[in-house]
Chains A and B, each alone.
Chain A
Amino acid sequence: MSDQNSGDSLLDMFIFETTQNTEQLEKNILETEKNGVFSQSAINEIFRIMHTIKGSSSMMAYSHIASLAHKAEDLFYFLRENAKVSYDCSLITDLILSFTDYINKELINIEEKKEPDFNGANQLIKKFDNYLNELQNEHNSELFFYKIVIYFVDGCKMENIRAYSIINDISEFSSKIEHIPDNVFEDDSTALKIRDSGFTIFFETTKSYEEVLNHFKQTPFIRDFDLAILDNHGLKTECDVDSNNKENAVITELKTENHQAHSIISINVTKLDKLMNLVGEAVISESMVVENPDLKGLELQSFQREAQHLHKIIVEMQDLVMTMRLVPIITTFQKTHRIVRDMSKKLGKDVRIEFVGEDTEVDKNIIEHLSDPLLHLVRNCIDHGLESEEERIAAGKPATGTITLEAYNAGSNVYIIVKDDGKGLSKEKILKRAKKNNLLTKPESEMSDKDILNLIYMPGFSTKEAVSEYSGRGVGMDVVMQNIL
């Protein structure tokens, strides 16, 4: 019945599912990076995806992918079990992104039946190993939690500022400090409270009890103090992330839950195409039946009524099949998050991307051809359009550049707008460049503004002085044009 043997369909399933998993992973990690902290549920989710990838790739006997996923899983296992460890969110994001990049590349290799890239896997495993070791070492250099209540010498005055001074000293060897009262620096009335009930500090450090004791013995104006070591799971778990970050993490948690509420199954596109063809055939065949010459001259009341009913059903089916191929453009828009992140990091520009009308539905075939030009346009926006932070501030713009992707339906067309709040196109620069590269087709004086602007769609056109990682080869806008037309 099926023209595929079971081994191949298993492979298809593996590739399909793993691609989805890496996409999901990328989405999760980029969202998390924005918050600067991995929420427990984000860690669990990432851990789960790693675990799935590991399981299915080892089933398919791709041991290099499996062992890489295993390493990545180790890292998140460690983060999950040691909630208090402090980590570098953007470094982990980099690691995970290179992980998904690698897996996607390997999936293509598998599809094209090419040699797997064992070396790449080993290098990545080493990177994961290194960072995990680093985290473990930091974690193992034991941290102690201290509580100290300090009473200052009677009549020493400005107790709140003395308290501030002490915090200042402690901050040299502790990164986590909380104290009561907490606003000693701003609020001079806290001096009284400290005089009456002392100054209480909780802090964390690798210093031993002896060292800490000596430190306070040498601090002037302390009359008396009470130093205690708290056990590891003492009072301090709450200050791991500041409350702001925590709130954000909770919000994203809620968001992901909402997303999961959609129940969607994936269908092979060829099946959909077949269905569409069949419906098309049904439309033709219906009219062949209804308009059949054999029926000519016959009085067929009941037949006509039923035929009309059939017609209605078929039209409805046709509409439905068309919409089944429609996918919201958001998935394509979301691919730009990655490029925005990578480029803004490399070029040192702060860039924000905004979506408008991301629920607009577009035919699957069109979507597939949209993503390359869209990514290219976004790349152009960041590299050419948006100015550096200094330039933006000098021009009275907000330091963060904004790129807007907008989609909307108008009649039978879908409009997609890529917009940035950068410096725009420079006609002089375009003309100069075009002349240099001999791209002018008519005398300069006859060129209208539109002609000049259209030059950017010529193959080989670039205003960039030097080729960079992102642009400058003049391959770009012509490709965008080709893809779209």
Chain B
Amino acid sequence: MISVLVVDDAAFMRLAIKNVLEKSGFKVIADAKNGQEGIEKYTELKPDIVTMDITMPDMTGIEALKKIREADQNAKVVMISAMGQERMVKEAIINGAKSFIVKPYKEEHIVETLLKIASDK
């Protein structure tokens, strides 16, 4: 079963993503409400995939992505972005994000993206 860590500052989003993923057979092993917590949980739990919100207080998703990729070159991080954040998404891709999902998203997009990324060696 594919394990996922969901990082998002909005409780609603964490729940929404968790629901979609668990319905489709993923295991959401933890969630985090900011970048720092995300990094800590990643190092502790080593999930297969992380979904990372971009705009979060204190530490942005991009900073957290960089830190996670520094610690683990093979980390698979999928960014969750809002419309109009092109510049940030570009930065995330340069820094090794595997893909990105734009809110509002369709459920099957999230599922399909995570499945493909998980199967990629």
Contacts and interface: CB of A to CB of B under 8 A. Distances in A.
A160 B90 CA distance: 10
A161 B89 contact: yes
Contacts of B42: none
Interface string B103-121: 0001001001100110110
Nearest to B103: A157
B106 A220 contact: no
Interface string B65-109: 000000000000000010100100110011000111010001001
Interface in A332-359: none
B113 A155 contact: no
B109 A153 contact: yes
A138 interface: no
B93 A220 contact: no
Interface string B7-40: 0000000000000000000000000000000000
B119 A218 contact: yes
Nearest to B120: A218
Nearest to A220: B113
Interface in A150-203: 153, 155-158, 160-162, 164-165, 168, 185, 188
A168 B93 CA distance: 8
A156 B109 contact: yes
A155 B106 contact: yes
Contact of B100 (A158, A168, A188): A158
Interface residues of A, number: 17
Contacts of A188: 86
A432 B120 CA distance: 68
A220 B90 contact: no
A218 B116 contact: yes
A158 B93 CA distance: 13
A158 B113 contact: no
Q: Which of A155, A158, A164, A218 has the most chain B CB atoms inside 10 A of its CB? A: A158
Given A155-B106, A156-B109, A221 B89 contact: no
B116 A220 contact: yes
Contact of A164 (B93, B117, B120): B93
Interface string B32-67: 000000000000000000000000000000000000
A165 B120 CA distance: 15
A219 interface: yes
Q: Which of B81, B83, B86 has the most chain A CB atoms inside 10 A of its CB? A: B86
Given A161-B100, A165-B99, A221 B90 contact: no
Contacts of A153: 109, 112
A153 B112 CA distance: 11
A164 B112 CA distance: 20
B93 A161 contact: yes
A161 B113 contact: no
Contacts of B94: 168
B96 to A, nearest CB: 9
B94 to A, nearest CB: 8
Q: Which of B81, B90, B120 has the most chain A CB atoms inside 10 A of its CB? A: B90
B86 A161 contact: yes
A161 B90 CA distance: 7
A429 to B, nearest CB: 46
A27 to B, nearest CB: 43
Nearest to A167: B93
A361 B41 CA distance: 78
A164 B90 contact: yes
Given A158-B102, A220-B99, A185 B116 contact: no
13 contacts: A157-B102, A158-B89, A158-B102, A161-B89, A161-B93, A164-B90, A165-B99, A165-B100, A218-B119, A220-B113, A220-B117, A221-B99, A221-B109
Interface of B: 81, 83, 86, 89-90, 93-94, 98-100, 102, 106, 109, 112-113, 116-117, 119-120
